[in-house]
Structure 1
Amino acid sequence: MTSTTSTAEPAQVASPNRKHKDHVAKRYPLWFLIPGGLIYLIFFVVPTLASFYFAFTRWTLFESEWIGLQNFTLFLSEPGLIGSLWNTLVYGFVTSGAKVVLGMLLAVVLSMPLIARGYLRSVTFFPVLLSAVGVGLTFQVLLDPFNGIVNKVWTAITGGDGPQWLTNPDIALLSVAGIDVWKGLGIATLIYIAGIAAIPNEYFEAARVDGASSWQVFRSIILPLSFPATSTVILLSLIGGLRSFDLIWTTTGGGPGFSSDVIASVIYKQYQAGYYGLSTAGNVILFVVVTAIVYPLNRWLNSKETDL
């Protein structure tokens, strides 16, 4: 009787210890999220909440005054706001669509067994590493209508004067969009290459056995099975396009006139003029616009992924 009791007691004591160790083991990986969570809280959550507050104030570095919705009313009454909003949407959707199409095509080519494939992939990705400000200033020189090398080559080939890429109101915004596509195409291509590499090789082998053409392989295998990569490229490029500022500002400054003004450049002009509360309200409006476009699009893309 005594021996039975003595062996039962250690078991009763050991069970809570095991539960405690299991609880600690489950929580242990979560501790590694704390540094990243603190950085996210300090550099994103707190500034975002602060910007929502200061959007309702007239503020300087030393004081602020609550004025309610006046900043939003004044910003929405800007004469060029509708034009800048339209330019923002055009710029965002044009750059996003071009990166999706060209990124997919380049990824398909660079996934083939080519000579110097690694070098070609590096060249494609290289513009991503460059500063947007440096790229903007460089293309401002290259696209100069009189002394730029692009128009000199155009004249040598066609014999006529080249377009005024950055000074013609009709094409200035699209010219900057083209520069943006050149700079950001490497990211889209890289994502697509990863998406194509994740497709099981059995699908391609079965297609070869069935005698499928390259177009049939692309349409029936690569295009549908790389849809997660497509949704990622769409969201990233669209968010970047709708928020774009530095490339536009360094190439055209929003001009000529207001032809290439986007919401971000209008915000910056208000900030330059010292209207800090007004520019903060503009940032909040831009945040709402981007969220209103991207969030439902993200939900729709996720629903399409689950249907595959």
Structure 2
Amino acid sequence: MTKIFKNTYSYYFLLPAAIIYTIIFLVPTVMSFFFSMTRWSLQEWDFIGLENFRMFFEEPSLIIGFKNTFIYAAVTCVLKVVLGLLLGVFLTSKIRSKGYLRSVIFFPTLVSTIAVGLAFSMMMHPSQGLINTTLAWLGINGPDWLGDPSIALLSVAFVDVWKGVGFATVIYMAGILSIPAEYYEALQIDGGNAFRKFWNIIVPLSRPATNSVIILAFIGGLRSFDLVWAMTKGGPGFTTDLIASIIYKQYQGGFYGLATAGNVILFLFVSVLAFPLYMFLNRKEVDL
């Protein structure tokens, strides 16, 4: 008995975290799967099987929502990776006021997403917004950023990038600063220029940081809701509707079981896309 206790003693330290994880994550997850197969309210529920899933897949705007969600996630992910890497290189180079510039880049990450959405909604107003007013002063006729169906989704995506690129930059800065100085010294001896330093040293040796940014940005884009809702509420029409905003509209209509089924579908959708991507990136990192 004493031997068994000694062998399992270290696992007891994990028990508090396991209890918290079970209460906060596992139990709500199981409940979500169960209530997705019910028609429920705050007072009662009726089990209806897979009916909610059938109804959710019959939602007219669902195909648009899936397409918009994937486009939104892809655009924001790519831009955060590219801009985060470039800013990370810039902010780890020998420039003055690096501390101040780092604070400026990271500051939008700390601002409330709803506040950012409302602020940019006013700035992107077609006639009175700051952006089009500035463009008009330069002799350029600015578009209706949030009212034109062809650019509304991309406009929201660019705001998302503005807000989130600071976090990606911090990850890249950590990755770049962890590169041993011997690589730079060897390149300098070989007569390498700044481009070779960037392409042959920073890019390949920052792959762990790149993988982290890709996974976090892609999952964040697939799950995004608050910025889109604050700026467009899915409009004009359904052109900026994401899966999460479609689910929220079901909650607003009082279809709680249907919305819960939508959340389960969103969870599976994110898992199906993100997990293979994670495995692929992790394999490439190991091969390196």
TM-score with structure 2 setting the length: 0.96
Rounded to whole Å, the distance in 2 between the matches of 1:244 and 1:148 is 25
Q: Report 1:47-66 matches (<5 A).
A: 47-66=28-47
Q: How does 1:126-165 map to 2 (within 5 A)?
A: 126-157=107-138, 159-165=139-145
Return the alpha-carbon distance in structure 2 between the equivalents of residues 175 and 219 of structure 1.
Answer: 31
Q: Structure 1 residues 20, 88: CA separation in 2 closer, same or farther (over 3 Å shift)?
A: closer
Which of 257, 260, 275 is matched with 1:277 structurally?
257
Match for residue 70 of structure 1? 51
2:217 aligned residue (225, 237, 243):
237
Residue of 68, 79, 82 corresponding to 2:63: 82
Q: Distance in 2 between matches of 1:255 and 1:118?
A: 40
One-letter amino acid of the counterpart of residue 59, structure 1 = W
Question: After the TM superposition, which residues 90-129 of structure 1 pair with which residues of structure 2 at under 5 Å, given as runs?
Answer: 90-129=71-110
Determine the C-alpha separation between the residues in 2 that align with 1:99 and 1:160.
28
3-state SS of the aligned residue for 1:114? coil
| Structure 1 Cα separation of the partners of residues 151 and 268 of structure 2 | 28
Match of 1:254 among 208, 212, 234: 234
Shift of 1:242: 0.3
AA in 1 matched with 2:186: A
Matches of 2:167 and 2:245 in 1, distance apart?
A: 25
C-alpha displacement of 1:209: 1.0
Render the CA deviation track for 1:153-205: whole Å, top value 9, x for unaligned.
Answer: 01011x24211011111101000000000000011000000001111110011
CA shift in 2, pair 1:225/1:27, >3 Å: farther
Query: Within 2, Cα distance between the matches of 1:173 and 1:212?
Result: 42
For residues 233-284 of structure 1, give each alpha carbon's deviation from its aligned partner in whole angstroms, at most 9, with x where no partner exists. Answer: 0000000000000000000000001000000000000000000000000000
Kindly state the Cα deviation for residue 35 of structure 1 after the two structures are TM-superposed. 3.2
In structure 2, the CA distance between the partners of 1:136 and 1:32, relative to structure 1 (3 Å rule), is farther
Q: 1:86-135: per-residue Cα shift (whole Å, max 9, x none)?
A: 00000001000100000000000001021010111111100000111111
Letter of the structure 2 residue corresponding to residue 69 of structure 1: L
Task: Give the CA RMSD over aligned residues.
Answer: 1.6
Secondary structure of the residue that 1:113 maps to in structure 2?
coil
Distance 1:207 1:160 in 2: 46
Among 141, 145, 156, the alignment partner of 1:176 is 156
- Given residue 104 of structure 2, which amino acid in structure 1 is its aligned partner? V
In the alignment, what sits opposite 1:305? 285
TM-score (norm 1): 0.90
Return the alpha-carbon distance in structure 2 between the equivalents of residues 40 and 187 of structure 1. Answer: 26
Q: What's the CA shift for 1:286?
A: 0.5
Quote how far apart the aligned CAs of 1:44 are.
1.3
2:166 alignment partner AA? G
2:46 counterpart SS class? strand
In structure 2, the partner of 1:10 is none
Which amino acid letter does the alignment assign opposite residue 47 of structure 2?
A: W
Cross-structure match for 2:27: 46
Decide which of 268, 271, 275 is 1:288's aligned counterpart. Answer: 268
User: How many matched pairs?
Assistant: 288
| Residue type of the alignment partner of 1:195 | G
* 2:203 corresponding residue in structure 1: 223
Amino acid at match of 1:166: L
Aligned match of 1:196: 176
| Inter-CA distance 160–114: structure 2 relative to 1 (3 Å threshold) | closer
Q: Structure 2 unaligned runs (5+)?
A: none
SS in 2 for 1:65: strand
Taking a change above 3 Å as real, the CA distance of residues 206 and 27 of structure 1, as seen in their structure-2 partners, is: farther
Q: For 2:194 and 2:217, how far apart are their aligned partners in 1? A: 28
Separation in 2, partners of 1:33, 1:191: 28
2:140 and 2:188 mapped to 1: Cα distance?
Answer: 49
Deviation at 1:62, TM superposition (A): 1.2
